[in-house]
Amino acid sequence: MGHLPDPMALGHGNALPMKARNIFTPELMKQARPRNLVCGELICCPEEDAQSVFMIKRGSIKIYRNTRDGREVIVELLSKGEIFGESAVLLDSPFDCYAEALEPTQILQVPANLFRKAIAADPAYAWTLLGHVAQNVQRMEEELERSILLNAPQKVGCYLLRQIAGAQKRSYGHSGFCPALLPFSKALVAFKLGMTPETMSRSIRKLVSLGLLRERGRTMVGIDPENLTQYCCQSCSQSFPCQSAELAP
């Protein structure tokens, strides 16, 4: 299979997010190897040597760990333009999570040695990568705060707000409803938010009863961003859109 073209030259529908372009530079893209995955296929496993850095070109990936008693803990849900595996490569350590395709997915992988050479050869690129790592740390700090301070309906509402901010790149200070975006199944989002699917369903019903969310049947069709922001952010140290929403791909 041939190399993919420079992402800057791709058509609008296939263009990669800016964050992905900054990390997977045209030089690295020339050496990236495309790989097509079927639903359920594993890309990496714990204790496996980190030999590549990956970027999602199309589809979605679940990053997770298994507990000793057999439960699955979702660490992250990733979609187009997001990067994974870089921490293990930078630390020169094995992977510590499973990465599994949630649907037919295409990823690009760059060998670890080429990734490290790019960092060593270009201080500006090293600073860009350092910024990427710092953003991830900031996002995890925000997630920790939300997991402690927000109740279940607020967690669901906050997740929905961050999805629309990341997708449309604009603030929502106006009144009225806008489309509700749920890029993954309710069950996966529930586990990512640290709750059961049943708790998430109850939380959605609570938001509907408060007039903050609209459903058609069992499908979410719209949210009231202005009032949902007031409801969710009252228990948080940040105002919406928070940093993790602004940094979404």
| Structural domain includes residue 173 | yes
Tell me whether residue 1 is in a domain: no
pLDDT digits 0-9 by tens, 151-204: 999 999 999 988 887 555 444 444 578 887 788 999 999 999 999 999 999 999
Cα–Cα dist 20/43, whole Å:
19
Highest-confidence segment of 106-115, 127-136, 230-239:
106-115
Packed helices 225-233 and 152-168: angle between N→C axes, nearest 10 degrees: 130
Number of domains in the chain: 2
Going by C-alpha positions, the residue among 75, 45, 40, 44 that lies closest to residue 60 is 40
| 26 or 7, which is more confident | 26
82, pLDDT greater than 60: yes
Domain assignment of residue 126, yes or no: no
Q: Given this model, what pLDDT does residue 236 score?
A: 85
Cα–Cα distance, 163 to 180 (Å, whole number) = 8
Report pLDDT digits (tens) over 91-127: 999 999 999 999 999 999 999 999 999 999 999 999 9
pLDDT for the residue numbered 23 = 87
- Domain shared by 116 and 147, yes or no: no
Q: Note whether 11 and 113 are same-domain residues.
A: yes
Flag whether 240 is in a domain: yes
φ and ψ of 35, to 5 deg: -145, 125
Higher-scoring residue by pLDDT: 3, 28: 28
d(CA 199, CA 213): 16
Provide DSSP, 18-33.
HHHHHHS-HHHHHH-E
CATH label of the domain that carries residue 27: 2.60.120.10
**104 and 201 share a domain?**
no
pLDDT at 21: 72
3-state SS of the chain?
CCCCCCHHHCCHHHCCCHHHHHHCCHHHHHHCEEEEECCCCEEECCCCCCCEEEEEEECEEEEEEECCCCCEEEEEEEECCCEECHHHHHHCCCCCCEEEECCCEEEEEEEHHHHHHHHHHCHHHHHHHHHHHHHHHHHHHHHHHHHHHCCHHHHHHHHHHHHHHHHHCCCCCCCCCECCCCCCCHHHHHHHCCCCHHHHHHHHHHHHHCCCEEEECCEEEEECHHHHHHHHHCCCCCCCCCHHHHCCC
| 109 and 150 fall within a common domain | no
The 10s digit of each residue's pLDDT in 14-57 is 455 556 777 888 889 889 999 999 999 999 999 999 999 999 99
For 55-76, how does the pLDDT look when each residue is reduced to its tens digit (9 = 90+)?
Answer: 999 999 999 999 999 889 999 9
Looking at the DSSP bridge assignments, the partners of residue 58 are 106
- Judge if 165 and 236 occupy the same domain: yes
Please check whether residues 182 and 85 belong to one and the same domain.
no
- pLDDT at residue 107 in the model: 96
- Domain ranges, residue 97: 7-121
CATH assignment at residue 221: 1.10.10.10
User: Rounded to a whole number, what is the largest CA-CA distance in the chain?
Assistant: 57
Q: 68 in a domain, yes or no?
A: yes
- Per-residue pLDDT, 12: 32
Instruction: Mark whether 64 and 148 lie in a shared domain.
Output: no
Structure tokens, 199: 């708790």
Residues 58 and 105 in one domain: yes
